[in-house]
Structure 1
Amino acid sequence: MADIAVVFHSGYGHTQRQAQAVAEGAAARLIAIDAEGNLPEGAWEQLAAADAIVFGSPTYMGGPSWQFKKFADATSKPWFTQAWKDKLFAGFTNSAALNGDKHSTIHYFITLAAQHSGLWVSQGIMPSSTKAAQRDDPNRLGSYAGAIAQSPSDASPAEMAPGDLETARQFGKRVAEAAARWARR
């Protein structure tokens, strides 16, 4: 079984719920970035040991939260030695708007992974894009590069669309399958 870490920041609990679904699908451990942009004790060692790292952040103002960016800047230490070279990476995000420029956050994650000489795992779930599609359907928002979710600004984390959480679980499963396959190389 591959060792997978989900490192994420959540401002209001929605992205945490999405992270939990990704971790459930991947049988991964969660590493929460706190409100000050810091990791818990031992997290850097967990990331170093991981076969795959999944990034997660809400999309605020067209990109990841400043707390996630603080973490990303701190990854310059493993970057300098290319310590994460050839790890698998993936990412997910959530915002209040249907579009909300979530793709900018996913692309930020892809660039961060590339700078670490990592390999990106895409979503691999076809979009639910028919007239009959519902909020409960996986990939209802139609993303390919990573898992995205939409939570109305006045909705609690408990009110997240079941389809978005199922998308996150399936995405986590895909990351786990890719990491297991990559580890056999």
Structure 2
Amino acid sequence: MSDLTSPRPAVAVAYHSGYGHTEVLAEAVRRGASAAGADVTFVDVTAVTDEQWQRLDDADAIIFGSPTYMGGASAGFHGFAEATSGRFIEGRWADKLAAGFTNSASKSGDKTNTLAFFAAFAAQHQMLWVSLGLAPGWNATTASEHDLNRLGYWGGAGAQTPMDGGVDTVHSADIATAEHLGARVARQASLISAGRRALSVTA
């Protein structure tokens, strides 16, 4: 009988952080993905090494992260996105899973624009988008700001940190929401990898 056991899914967290707040979320995404069984690569997109580019190419899923500045993803992340143009032309990331997370100082801060940019960027690479998979929290009289998805985002994980606050002011619920996103992507990557392996073995 053929062995259909799947290896640990490979998940990359590719992020830019201007002041450290988004890096706190990136670490949470990494913890969530690792706890769900993934082999996780951590990539600061402003300083990608050749080895990290290869790990991105080999990953089953890439989770993108950036602060939201002036209504969109940071210049640091945009530079990374533009640097992937060769991979876009080759379709090198086609059919990988993708997801995203972002942080801003305001409750809204136009974070939806950043998440929409990530989704469009992933679509251009022919990737498969994974949503947050959580109902909105903190939207009823019985709810709390400590709920998961307290800011009510659907497309990815959104966080709010005071503009004059240090990295210790990243909200615990936003950190937990980022961990949820990492775990969700890792589980979906594991399922898809197992399915593809099963099809290749039984074909």
Which bracket does the TM-score occupy, shorter chain normalised? over 0.9
- Listed as ranges, the gaps of 5+ residues in structure 2 are 1-7, 35-39, 196-203
Is 1:15 the counterpart of 2:22? The answer is yes
1: CA distance between counterparts of 2:50 and 2:185? Answer: 25
2: CA distance between counterparts of 1:15 and 1:74? Answer: 21
What is the deviation of 1:135?
2.7
Listed as ranges, the matches of 1:95-106 within 5 Å are: 95-106=104-115
1: CA distance between counterparts of 2:108 and 2:169? Answer: 19
Specify the alignment match of 1:75 in structure 2.
84
Specify the alignment match of 1:136 in structure 2.
146
What is the deviation of 1:77?
1.1
What is the deviation of 1:60?
0.2
Is 1:164 the counterpart of 2:171? The answer is no
Specify the alignment match of 2:65 in structure 1.
56
Listed as ranges, the matches of 1:39-50 within 5 Å are: 39-50=48-59
Which has the larger Rg? 2
Q: TM-score, normalised by structure 2?
A: 0.87
Listed as ranges, the matches of 1:26-45 within 5 Å are: 26-27=33-34, 28-33=40-45, 37-45=46-54
- Match of 2:95, SS? coil
Give the partner amino acid of 1:30.
F
What is the deviation of 1:41?
4.3
Give the partner amino acid of 1:138.
L
- Listed as ranges, the gaps of 5+ residues in structure 1 are none
Specify the alignment match of 2:200 in structure 1.
none
2: CA distance between counterparts of 1:30 and 1:122? Answer: 20
Give the partner amino acid of 2:184.
R
Equivalent of residue 184 in structure 2, options 160, 174, 177: 174
Contact 1:38 1:67 in 2 (8 A): no
2: CA distance between counterparts of 1:84 and 1:142? Answer: 29
Specify the alignment match of 2:122 in structure 1.
113
- Which ranges of 4 or more aligned residues in structure 1 deviate by more than 6 Å? none
- Match of 2:114, SS? helix
Structure 1 vs Structure 2: percent identity of aligned residues? 45
